[in-house]
Amino acid sequence: MGKLSSEEYWDSLYKPAVLEHKQFSFKEKIKALLTTLFGKNSLRSYSDYLLWEKIYKKYLPKTKGLKFLEIGSAPGENLVRFSQTFGYVPYGIEYSESGAELNREMFRLHNLDPANVIHADFLSEQLHNQHKESFDIVYSRGFIEHFTDVDAVIDKHLNLLAKGGRLVVIIPRIKGVNHALGMFFHKEVIPMHNLSIMGKKEFSKIFDRTDLSTLFCDYYGVFTFDLFNTKPASPLRFVLKLCNILQFVLNLIFHMLFRNKRAESRMFSPYLLYIGIKK
């Protein structure tokens, strides 16, 4: 299916990771000060606010106990959040061995079943034969853009999704300003992404198929430095840390300007999102 990234790359992201309490860094001190002045919610990522408070709450089912699968699930924080917010039973498929173990540890810390983390290649026939149509919601974030044959990857998503279930797919938008900053911070990562699907029209075409009914397909969010990373030893990591502190101020401005309104744009929105029902 034309993978654009390797197992070694993903394994390197999670091998050094350890679940522990964060130190009270300069960034956290700035956040604490701004929180005192303006309130906690005003510093929350505006993109995150729109996604969880406006889009998910409108388009995802409210039934507790639904089996929720994330593809490419490490480190597991996202699954924990879905479990806590909607009462779903979380499952993960993780390609990287170190990522799968990190995900299991995250589950243990939150009293979730670590056996629900499946260490496997998502494309393997054995996995799909074993779990065919087993899940009520199938979700991937930052996954399908690492392949050239995206249609075949969506086929695999739907193979694991029960009829009547929800498909949720999110990809980053490395276009416009985001592309320029991505090249600046970590240009080596850009070729790992299928940039051809990162326009709204091209993204929508992926899901224009007879076995899906679309509920939502659009840009979401406003500009965020959360989209970028650097090499571990790069001096640019200090620049990005400063930018992440600046993001708190941008979040405050976005909340004050837009409040409950949508503020997506082709130039600045960091993500594209699809939510649909399998027929």
pLDDT at 40: 60
- Separation of alpha carbons 186 and 94, rounded Å: 24
Domain-located, residue 83: no
Helix/strand/coil (H/E/C) assignment for every residue in the chain: CCECCCHHHHHHHHCCCCCCCCCCCHHHHHHHHHHHHHCHHHHCCHHHHHHHHHHHHHHCCCCCCCEEEEECCCCCHHHHHHHHHHCCEEEEEECCHHHHHHHHHHHHHCCCCHHHEEECCCCCHHHHHHHCCCEEEEEEECCHHHECCHHHHHHHHHHHEEEEEEEEEEEECCCHHHHHHHHHHHHHHHHHCCHHHCCHHHHHHHCCCCCEEEEEEEEECCCCHHHCCCCCCCCHHHHHHHHHHHHHHHHHHHHHHHCCCCCCCCCCCCEEEEEEEEC
Task: Specify the pLDDT at position 156.
Answer: 97
pLDDT value at residue 17: 52
In this prediction the pTM is 0.85
Short-list 89, 51, 84, CA closest to 68: 89
Residue 117 in domain: no
279 residues of the chain, pLDDT tens digit each? 666 665 565 555 555 554 544 445 555 665 565 556 555 666 788 889 899 999 999 999 999 999 999 999 999 999 999 999 999 999 999 998 999 999 999 999 999 999 999 999 999 999 999 999 999 999 999 999 999 999 999 999 999 999 999 999 999 999 889 999 999 999 999 999 999 999 999 999 999 999 999 999 999 988 999 999 999 889 999 999 999 989 988 988 888 888 777 677 777 889 999 999 999
Number of domains in the chain: 1
pLDDT of residue 264: 74
| 16: in domain | no
Asked if residue 248 is part of any domain, the answer here is: yes
Q: Which domain holds residue 218?
A: 24-72+122-278
Per-residue pLDDT at 22: 46
Cβ(173)–Cβ(205) below 8 Å: no
The answer to whether residue 89 sits within a structural domain is no
Distance CA 78, CA 195 (A): 24
> What pLDDT does residue 5 have?
61
Domain assignment present for 196: yes
Residue reference for tokens 């929180």: 35
pLDDT at 23: 46
The CATH number that applies at residue 231 is 3.40.50
Residue 102 in any domain: the answer is no
Residue 3 domain-assigned? no
